[in-house]
Chains A and B, each alone.
Chain A
């Protein structure tokens, strides 16, 4: 009786079974990479806004402290988006007639809020508290990146749980002294491990990884 399958079928069978393992591994790897990609997480993608507010100009150029606008960062879970009045504090005098700022003036006149597009948005089942992080020595730029060099705001980090846990498991790699928390020009010193260990001690920083710390 003649062979139904050509001899090459043996090779094909072996190669494909062997290769299937790599194929599936590759598929899983692709899946994992897509999961961490900016397409999925929104990191590194500048967001369009109704008004082209430039942090580079205001923070980098004018040197305004983060807390001037984001006022509740040291007290509350929510850092705060400035009300229109904060913009008008300066812009009632500076560039008071600029067409770029017409939406701001319109908002102030009419009493209708400006609808910004949210850049840093954690899922609803995550409860993040700004005030405790800021109090324990986590700097603004550590998570939000070099805001003073962003002409339009983007989300610097992935904000995925894996990224949060990276610091929660080893905070000594990222903390800085309290007086440097709001400085945009802070660079981690070469002996960060040592400095970090000392700060952990001093600020009583715990490695909180229980689920209920963030998920409730």
Chain B
């Protein structure tokens, strides 16, 4: 079976391994910047770029060069063989002749169906916007949802919400597809039989009646993290009526270690809120605060706001110590990869250095050699910025590290300025692993008669050693409220379809405590119920609807009239004012000199005996698996790895070399997108799983990372067959990481769909970066080698753009690679999902892609993200080659794509140097599923097979704004048009506007010194330009 790469772990599929066997392991350690051996003229030395995308490219591996140089590897024979070429041209000629014939159709008669009674505020053709919030892992993100004729079609952030300030993350953007997912549970069932709600009410009231004499001793309620004040109040009221009942919480996406660390440090559960706008120096201990976690959208905005090179003296500095490359590490000025178990020693050392304030002592020898200099510099920098620095510990680190971070912040005097402590957003903070353990113990002991699981999927997400599935067989009556009939529902008697957050009334708290009322945009599609309604079913008033429950909770004390006014204002704004938590003053219990007093329960379990460390993380695209059936998120190339449709065993190239593992790009028809790697078997604490090994640049050596969320048994049709289940080897005592994992090659091969391997840089500088000192000294230096030709060098007359002149500026310095823009664009423009098979051929349809570029040492390079939409070139190479005139230039500078003219020649895509044009090779759009039709944006054409598509600068939004402004007799204001990518971006990296307006943000950004065009030397004159990245390097550490 070796030599036949597999596509998914369930089925084997035949396929040829492609060209290039470049063993990337050889490339590691070779520090030379060899010029790639390209068959064409070699670029001048001044264009030699230090940036690279893959290790093979960095090493100048000639086989890899050869492989990527052939853009269509499977077509090579057809192109070079003269006889085949003639046949090809004959067929092309014939098909051109027939192309016109398909246009001769009469339009079928359609119906037009008005309302019977039209709702007053609804104007057909104009969308309405409603404010709501998305609760995720107990924390809400405020949203504004666009609704067309009663159907929510697009989600944006709510500018008035403190948690997002108008931005959104990938989960919020993809939630629309989750709402309309045809695999959602659609009927209330009892052991597979469809039952009405009244049957459930009967069963539950019978069970509760039986529990009453026992005071509810057999009742257990299992929820995810609850920040909803209403739900918390309902549950507490339930516990009052049944005092012996217990409430357990288990949410694998929430932050157990952070909670435990706060308890350790302060003696109580508190949340830390960070003020990145106040911080000059930030130390991240394995914390991906830019990419995920509560408040990450806000933190990204604040952080980016302090990184503008134009305000060079305000520029902050970020140090990141990471066990897995992340967005935060990519943005860091100095990054150090470190095994997760070693980070604690590092933190202690820095804490000790800070504790001995004024002595300037070193960090001692508890830290690995290579990190000592780093730790010294960090301690010094933090000390120099007392009160304006910040230490953040990540969720994957044990409680001790969090406690150390709190102690360090206190020692530095940061409390109150850069970090503020408040009560938790969760209503009832507990240690959730302990809570789950208690529940399993109770179930095994037979103490549980009635178990109600509100949301979540504990059978899939619980640690393997708890054997939750076995314990679940014990309670007599088991009820599961969930969006999907998943692994847990299979083991419960009652499965109640849950109402999606877009269908239900609720409330939730943001990371800072601000309450938002969650209001529905559409009536439940499948008669789903919210958690409020299920808990109410167990109360003395089971007929209450979610609306009544939430209103009743907030209508306490106020007069009827004033409550109505307030209620409407809260729904309109999306925030309830004055509900943000007030800062609490807390003191860390142990001072830094007493640091041995901070116990670390996890240190005993890590790195003992043989084997390497394994680190478990939630997947950046599908979290803990709850979004596994969301096609947009499955196909989203993950930040850093650019992996789609799978999870993998992630290791550094050196670690992979030790295993003699190799991976190589290969092809299977189409273009590039496939990486063939080794299948490895992980043996950890007596359990084994198999997965594909993927090398990640910048990963620490001698440890591996796996993402949970894949390998779902009952996740839906999209989730089926994707990846492997990392939870099968995860244990409760070493929830985030542990030692002693053995990795062995199985001899099998696996195909991973990775989009990083597209395109070759050939020495061109796609990304430009400089250090802050260099930039301050000479801002022009970053664009020194720019070879953009003058505007006079063309045969075409210069077109005067007198009206609007649309342009976009993308700040590489701000971009954190979170991919919110990619999903936002997909949602706005009805972009289809193509599936793993097509991504392997390089046919993913994302109009906007985020490319990852590296610079420097192979083991720990600098990382830059670059979003690439259509450049809307003024001298577009695609326009001149279209035989039917399907792509033309508008008089405002847009490169128009006219789907109805396109015949599918694909010459335009061939000619595009940026490769931003996507072709519908097959009918990728789902034409049939009724629920998915509801979610499409009616303002954008849904493309069929055979047409080319690309980014249009959201021309539907431009046109709408222009029409509105024309009706009002005014010009379009700056900021009135926000493209979907711009609106989603938390870091404000994308700015769109009118270049003819000198006061517009985009015009000002393009006037900056660090502005440059991508591949400007080709004279395409792109309207989308980039702003070079600037790193605030610590002179002590150098570059």
A residues adjacent to B (C-beta < 8 A): 35, 39-40, 42, 47, 72, 75-78, 80-85, 107-108, 111-118, 121, 123-125, 127, 129, 131-132, 135-136, 204, 206, 210-213, 215-216
Contacts and interface: CB of A to CB of B under 8 A. Distances in A.
A73 B114 CA distance: 15
A216 B116 contact: no
Contacts of B890: 210-213
B959 interface: yes
B124 interface: yes
Contacts of B114: 80-84, 113-114, 116
Contacts of B959: 127, 129, 212-213, 216
Interface in B911-951: 939-941
A132 B116 contact: no
Interface of B is mostly: loop
B47 interface: no
A211 B896 contact: yes
Of the candidates A40, A121, A210, A211, the one having the most CB atoms from chain B within 10 angstroms of its own CB is A211
B956 A210 contact: no
A97 to B, nearest CB: 20
A90 B658 CA distance: 85
Contacts of B124: 72, 76, 78, 80
Nearest to B968: A135
Contacts, number: 121
Contacts of A115: 111-113
B896 A212 contact: yes
Contact of A132 (B889, B900, B939, B967): B967
Interface size range of chain B in the complex: 35 or more
20 contacts: A75-B123, A76-B124, A76-B125, A78-B124, A81-B112, A81-B113, A84-B116, A84-B117, A118-B111, A121-B109, A124-B941, A125-B941, A127-B959, A129-B963, A210-B888, A210-B889, A210-B891, A211-B896, A212-B894, A215-B896
Chain A facing B: main interface SS: loop
B365 interface: no
A121 B107 contact: yes
Q: Which one of B892, B955, B969 has the highest number of Cβ atoms from chain A below 10 Å of its Cβ?
A: B955
Contacts of B969: 204
Contacts of B72: none
A215 B940 CA distance: 9
A129 B125 CA distance: 9
Interface of B: 104, 106-107, 109-118, 123-126, 803, 888-892, 894, 896, 898-900, 939-941, 952, 955-956, 959, 963, 966-967, 969
A212 B886 CA distance: 11
Nearest first, the 3 closest Cβ-Cβ pairs linking A and B are A76-B125, A210-B890, A78-B125
A118 B113 CA distance: 9
A120 to B, nearest CB: 9
B110 A118 contact: yes
A85 B116 contact: yes
A124 B941 CA distance: 7
A163 B939 CA distance: 23
A121 B112 CA distance: 9
A42 B107 contact: yes
Contacts of B939: 127, 216
B106 A40 contact: yes
B110 A136 contact: no
Given A81-B112, A123-B107, A204-B969, A215 B900 contact: yes
A85 B891 CA distance: 44
Given A83-B116, A85-B118, A123-B900, A216 B110 contact: no
Given A84-B117, A135-B967, 17 more contacts: A72-B123, A72-B125, A72-B126, A77-B126, A78-B124, A85-B116, A113-B115, A115-B112, A115-B113, A117-B110, A121-B109, A129-B959, A136-B966, A204-B966, A212-B890, A216-B955, A216-B956
A211 B113 contact: no
B119 to A, nearest CB: 10
A212 B952 contact: yes
B804 to A, nearest CB: 11
A213 B960 CA distance: 10
A120 B115 CA distance: 19
Contacts of A108: 116
Contacts of A206: 803
A83 B952 contact: no
B963 A132 contact: yes
A210 B892 CA distance: 9
Contacts of A127: 939, 956, 959
Contact of A215 (B107, B111, B112, B898): B898
Contact of B118 (A83, A121, A131, A215): A83
A117 B952 contact: no
A81 B118 CA distance: 10
Nearest to A113: B113
A6 B905 CA distance: 49
Given A118-B112, A216-B955, A131 B963 contact: yes
Contacts of A213: 890, 959
B109 A125 contact: no
Contacts of B888: 210-211
A77 B107 contact: no
B113 A116 contact: yes
Contacts of A76: 123-126
Contacts of B107: 42, 121, 123
A69 B908 CA distance: 46
Contacts of A40: 106
B883 to A, nearest CB: 16
A216 B890 CA distance: 12
A116 B112 contact: yes
A216 B966 contact: no
A84 B118 CA distance: 9
B624 to A, nearest CB: 38
Nearest to A136: B966
Contacts of A85: 115-118
B955 to A, nearest CB: 5
A39 B939 CA distance: 29
Contacts of A112: 116
Question: Which of B104, B114, B955, B963 has most chain A Cβ within 10 Å?
Answer: B114
Contact of A117 (B112, B116, B892, B894): B112
A42 B900 CA distance: 20
B629 to A, nearest CB: 29
A13 B212 CA distance: 106
Nearest to A122: B107
A129 B124 CA distance: 12
Contacts of B803: 206
Contacts of B109: 47, 117-118, 121
Nearest to A82: B114
